[in-house]
Amino acid sequence: MWQKDVAEYCKTCDRCQKANKSIGKRLRIMIKIQEPSRPWEIGHMDWVTGLPPGGDRSYNACVVIVDRFSKTLIFLPFHKDYTAMDMSQGLFEVKRAWHSVNWDSLMEGSKIW
């Protein structure tokens, strides 16, 4: 019997309502992510910055490229202050080595382009 009393009290209590108020977006149906059917069909790219200087050129940042099909990783050393032109030249060198990479899917969410 007391459970009903507690539930009724919590419905009318101002403090309880503020504490239990849900914030944020409501849940929605999730959209299925496209699955790749072959290696390097879909890839992702991310920058890791703030690293301690390393290597002969004292690189302090790294670009990580991930293939979603095979989970293959490519790590590219860069400097944090590289411009878009410097980045594109570095990525062009990698593209020659990894010619089958779908670079359009990598560049979609990039802030530097």
Q: Which residues contact 61 (CB under 8 A, 6 or more apart)?
A: 47, 48, 49, 50, 51, 77, 78, 79, 80, 82
Rounded CA gap, 61 and 53, in Å?
A: 8
Whether residue 97 is contained in a domain is answered as: yes
User: Whole-prediction pTM value?
Assistant: 0.54
Residue by residue, pLDDT tens for the chain (113 residues) are 688 888 888 788 888 777 766 666 667 777 787 888 888 788 888 888 888 988 788 889 888 888 888 888 888 888 888 888 888 887 777 766 665 556 555 555 555 44
Whether residue 51 is contained in a domain is answered as: yes
Paired sense of beta strands 59-67 and 73-78, if any: antiparallel
Domain of 53: which CATH number? Answer: 3.30.420.10
Domain count, the chain: 1
Q: Are 39 and 69 in contact (CB under 8 A)?
A: yes
Whether residue 64 is contained in a domain is answered as: yes
Whether residue 28 is contained in a domain is answered as: no
Whether residue 85 is contained in a domain is answered as: yes
Q: Are 63 and 47 in contact (CB under 8 A)?
A: yes
User: By residue range, what is the domain housing residue 90?
Assistant: 43-107
Chain centroid, CA 8 distance in Å: 44
